[in-house]
Structure 1
């Protein structure tokens, strides 16, 4: 998962609105969103190589999503970051306590950011900076540095989501939210970060929706959780930049 915009607690209808893109090499085996056979409480897509996930929801109201931290100089680590999302969704642990335990093992994983919500508390953790804090209400964005780092696609997408919510206070439309994540515009060179991948790759990665020969946006997700605990989870899968199919789920969290 490489780009997540979310709006928390300030909408009159929805307590959490999430729009996200997962960017990955095209040939990494992946299952689309579904309720897992071995963990039937979890709704998420699944990385079939390591059996974890990048973003998911549980029937009892837990949400988690993870992004990689972009730094090509960082060494490989033994454990899969996707297991962090899976482990949180399958647990009953408070996000703060989960993060405290995770921080003890932070060097076993490649660089990451994770956001965790238990239905009451939304937390962020970055294992490179060892940042851990509860996220305040409002609109936020996360790419591959840390929360709200002002990279072009973070600033642009966050602004578009914030403006959309202001102008649609009564109801949001799924297609409108997906449209924000379909933005393929490349940022100007002077606005690009320098993360060590070279100028040409920085340009390609500056778009919200990425399409390269062997790597790009594999799926987009919209998640809505209203104040009555009704969940709408929609995932659109892409193949080489082209829409392939959509999976839609609706259920009510038992509170």
Structure 2
């Protein structure tokens, strides 16, 4: 993912709401989300180049995981293992995220920079190999792009504000997807300087990126109800920002938030 907006314990009926965009090169082959026969089963898309994923949920336990890259072209390791496998490992680890994160810390330096959100609606964790510290995410509306959690990049600040407003208006799934399609451009003076150059900083600045080479490939909305019922919907996009497919999964877990 390149933008994850999420609300933790901010709605009486929905303890976890996630609205996220995955940005990637259009030439990189991808399989849309589906129920995968892992152990435990998970709902996730698949990066067909390296075999990992960027976001998923285990329906039986409501264990959720999502990852963004940390943008720092000057510190890039090559070769390095695919960061997408971290999400797979988190989803397959069971519900003990603290033990998983302790193990991950011992291996994290081998990867290029990443941010990981993982856990259940009841207790979500954040970890980045740029800080080597994990924390329990407090209740509230949060945003994560290609820096650290809640770094006030324009797209994060705008996205969190829009999500907060949508929650206050009783928004539904389609409202969250409309939010994720926001193409507003910030002023150049407000853009981060991550070493990519001004042209690329402009391309990467909106919540929804439209570019022939690199852009928003998919948008995902996940909602977990306090009853244990969940709704996971993913929309795929082409290089012109047109919808090319939609998949939706619902389920009921005994692991109530």
The TM tier, using the shorter chain, reads over 0.9
Gap change, CA 1:38 and 1:101, over 3 Å in 2: closer
In structure 2, what is the equivalent of residue 42 of structure 1? 42
Unaligned runs of 5+ in 2: none
Structure 1: how far apart are the matches of 2:10 and 2:23? 28
Q: State the secondary structure of the residue aligned to 2:209.
A: coil
1:97-128 Cα offsets, whole Å, 9 max, x none, are: 21111111111111000000134310000101
Superposed, which structure 2 residues align to 1:1-255 within 5 Å?
A: 1-39=1-39, 41-59=41-59, 60-76=61-77, 77-168=79-170, 172-240=171-239, 241-255=241-255
Unaligned runs of 5+ in 1: none
The Cα shift of 1:215 comes to 0.7
Task: Indicate the RMSD between aligned Cα atoms, in angstroms.
Answer: 1.2
Structure 2: how far apart are the matches of 1:151 and 1:185? 13
Q: TM-score if structure 1 supplies the norm length?
A: 0.96
> How many equivalent pairs are there?
252
Q: Which runs of 4+ in 1 moved over 6 A?
A: none
Q: TM-score if structure 2 supplies the norm length?
A: 0.95
